[in-house]
Amino acid sequence: MHTPPATPATTESPLQILVLAPQPFFQERGTPIAVRVLAEELAEAGHGVDLLVFHEGQPVAMSGVTVHRTPALPGLRGIKPGFSLKKMFCDGLMLLKSLRLVRRKQYHVIHAVEEAAFLALVLQFFFDIPFVYDMDSLLSMQLTDKFPLLVGLTRSMEWCEQKVMRRSRGIVAVCQALEEKAKAVAPTVPVVRLEDISLLGASTEAGEDIRREHGIGGCVFMYVGNLESYQGIDLLLEAFALFPVEDRQRASLVVIGGRAEDIAVYRDRANQLALGGQVFFLGPRPVEHLGHYLAQADVLVSPRIQGNNTPMKIYSYLDSGRPILATRIPSHTQVLDGSIALLAEAEPHAFMQAMTTLQGDEPLRRALALAARETVRRNYSREAFRGKLRAFYHNLDIASHH
């Protein structure tokens, strides 16, 4: 069953890389966008890249990247972010498909995103192929946050997670908290912190004037992203409902993104809070037009209530020229501080007070936005991402493995 390893490659020569990304692909949300950027940059560096993803998602052409998909079986539609039984089943299909790929082709390394690292550990055992663990989150924390009844299994899940870290040839951490965790658990394994990047291009032209076309007025608070519970949309709506009447009459809340069923739930919640005329759920918009929509806001909000990985949207928020209001939780504070954003406790009254502060203080909004844009251009550009990724792969101990 053992497949001979690929011809030894030095870090000066191209590698054959199998990227395992257990996600619908392509979809315009955080992890699939990050996977696309990763695969494109690996190919741009001259490596041969095979990308294995779930069956669901829009086809997308990437130069130098061959996309493979798991089988599209009946009933496996609508795979949401985070843990689910559907996603677990698709992970099993991914393992079977990856077994076929490694039998047919010789890879120097497997780049495994999130829980695909457990699949890579299996492939390492049978085929002796080293793998890189791309950590977008702590899976043990993600699972117990979503299913508190599983808290008794936390220690077992952490043990499995730590084993994968220690057996990996390198670790890519998406944020400071994950970098620190990886270095503590696997001190001899190379770790790189590879944050997400701004997705704003040079052009912000898209045509839709949301104020004119949707009757939106006043100070516009805007949220962009999915509507999963950890994003804190309940907190955001409750905070907006606490506004003093005069302030709320001069404000609007715009939500871009989300699935139709989630939008329906939160629209009902807004109506229950008597916010129906001032909260606008616009649904998904193309990511290439993101800059155009962000530019129409007065304040960008991230009311997230859980997690330690920084939301991808934060980097585009920073690049937008608009001020940011975010909750004071590790997801945000490892990138944001008081010099580039206004931070508030993850509690409706505190968030309301911060919203009204920004609504009434235009000089503060301008100062925060200016400092934020400088920060993202210095630290979170595509060029910075490219440099760190190439240096990491250049220094990977792949050749000696063979």
Note whether residue 106 is domain-resident. yes
Q: What is the mean pLDDT of residues 147-157?
A: 70
CATH number at residue 341: 3.40.50.2000
The reply to whether 91 and 183 lie within a common domain is: yes
pLDDT at 344: 98
The reply to whether 287 and 344 lie within a common domain is: yes
pLDDT bracket for residue 253 (50, 70, 90): very high
Residue-wise pLDDT for 360-386, tens only, equals: 999 999 999 999 999 998 889 888 899
Note whether residue 1 is domain-resident. no
The reply to whether 373 and 387 lie within a common domain is: no
The reply to whether 60 and 184 lie within a common domain is: yes
Q: Which has the higher per-residue pLDDT, 120 or 153?
A: 120
pLDDT bracket for residue 146 (50, 70, 90): low
pLDDT at 254: 98
CA nearest 80: which of 131, 32, 112, 152?
A: 32
Note whether residue 203 is domain-resident. no
Sheet holding 16-20, edge to edge: 65-69, 48-53, 16-20, 109-113, 131-135, 170-173, 191-193
For residues 398 and 51, the answer to whether their CB atoms sit within 8 Å is: no
The reply to whether 164 and 218 lie within a common domain is: no
Task: Give CA separation, 317 vs 14, 223, 305, in Å.
Answer: 35, 10, 18
CA distance 96 to 52: 11
The reply to whether 170 and 238 lie within a common domain is: no
The reply to whether 37 and 105 lie within a common domain is: yes
CA nearest 226: which of 294, 145, 278, 302?
A: 302
Sign of the alpha-carbon dihedral angle for 372, 246, 280, 327:
positive
The reply to whether 131 and 25 lie within a common domain is: yes
Note whether residue 139 is domain-resident. yes
Contacts of 321 (CB under 8 A, 6+ apart): 294, 295, 369, 373
The reply to whether 310 and 253 lie within a common domain is: yes
Note whether residue 4 is domain-resident. no
98-102, 158-162, 281-285: which range is least confident on average?
A: 158-162
CA distance 141 to 82: 11
Contacts of 95 (CB under 8 A, 6+ apart): 119, 122
Count: domains in the chain: 2
Say if residue 385 is preceded by a cis peptide, omega within 30 of 0. Answer: no
Neighbours of 164 (CB within 10 A): 22
For residues 296 and 209, the answer to whether their CB atoms sit within 8 Å is: yes
Note whether residue 202 is domain-resident. no
The reply to whether 43 and 189 lie within a common domain is: yes
Note whether residue 8 is domain-resident. no
What is the pTM assigned to this prediction?
A: 0.78
Neighbours of 159 (CB within 10 A): 10
**In degrees rounded to 5, what are phi and psi of residue 158?**
-65, -40
The reply to whether 260 and 133 lie within a common domain is: no
Q: Residue 255: beta bridge partners? A: 223, 281
Decide the pairing of beta strands 299-302 and 170-173.
unpaired
CA nearest 33: which of 200, 191, 147, 252?
A: 200
pLDDT bracket for residue 402 (50, 70, 90): very low
pLDDT at 205: 59
What is the extent of the structural domain holding 48?
Answer: 16-197+382-401
CA nearest 5: which of 164, 124, 134?
A: 124
The reply to whether 394 and 368 lie within a common domain is: no
Query: Is pLDDT of 295 > 90?
Result: yes
Query: Is pLDDT of 4 > 60?
Result: no
Note whether residue 9 is domain-resident. no
**DSSP for residue 288:** G
CA distance 254 to 285: 13
Contacts of 267 (CB under 8 A, 6+ apart): 276, 279, 281
Cα radius of gyration (the chain) = 22
